[in-house]
Amino acid sequence: MSSLAQDFVDALAKLEQSGDTGAILALFDQNASVSNPVVADQKNGGDGAERFWRDYRGSFDEIRSEFRHVTSQDGTSFLEWQSSGKIDGKPFSYDGVSVLEEKDGRITAFRSYFDPAKLPTGHAASGDKAGRGADGQASQASGGPSDGNAGGGSDLDRAQEELAEQRAQGGYA
């Protein structure tokens, strides 16, 4: 495991425990890109990474990620994990893989892959329940506090609603 991958694992644990984004954001390049299955658009730059990680933590009442396998080679790290916790009092557990690309000791890209249907519906920034149905979010996901878009909801809230609608109509579009 690269030292940057280990720093990421440690910073994510701090974020999940305390909500403090400082340690994790310090690892990202100012032009870094971040994405996962429920974020409609890839987030770019320091502001995008800050919003992504703030929203990620804000999506959960409780969250804890355990890393099963981490490998690094030629500036790319693959992290296999399981996250568990609670959203609006509902327990969840989901597995995934995250990819970190690094250059000059900084994360230049973060991508996370998982099945968002493994998560219960999250809560909106106002604390109201966000959706209809039982869909999800993510980890390495985004949601929670408002990101400034109309309606006050986050990317996660909108993604949850879209996924619930697609399931209600018999599948994914």
3-state SS assignment for residue 11: helix
Question: What whole-number percentage of the chain has pLDDT above 70?
Answer: 68
Q: Which two tokens stand for residue 78?
A: 């693959």
**pLDDT over 60 at 151, yes or no:** no
Provide the residue type at 68 as one letter.
R
pLDDT at 45: 75
pLDDT at 146: 30
Neighbours of 57 (CB within 10 A): 22
**Least confident among 50-64, 123-137, 148-162:** 123-137
The Cα 2–Cα 144 span in angstroms is 31
Of residues 49, 171, 64, 157, the one with CA closest to residue 110: 49
Mean pLDDT of the chain: 77
Q: Which two tokens stand for residue 115?
A: 């099945």
Mean of pLDDT values over 81-87:
95
Question: Quick one: CA dihedral 97, 169, 146, 119, positive or negative?
Answer: negative
Q: Which two tokens stand for residue 28?
A: 């990202």
Reported pTM: 0.71
Q: Which two tokens stand for residue 149?
A: 């878009």
Produce one character per residue of 69-90: b if its CB has 16 or more CB atoms within 10 Å, e if not. ebebeeeebebebebebebeee
Of residues 47, 28, 55, the one with CA closest to residue 110: 28
Provide the residue type at 13 as one letter.
A
User: Which domains are seen in the chain, by residue range?
Assistant: 3-165 (3.10.450.50)
Neighbours of 173 (CB within 10 A): 7
Mean of pLDDT values over 125-148:
33
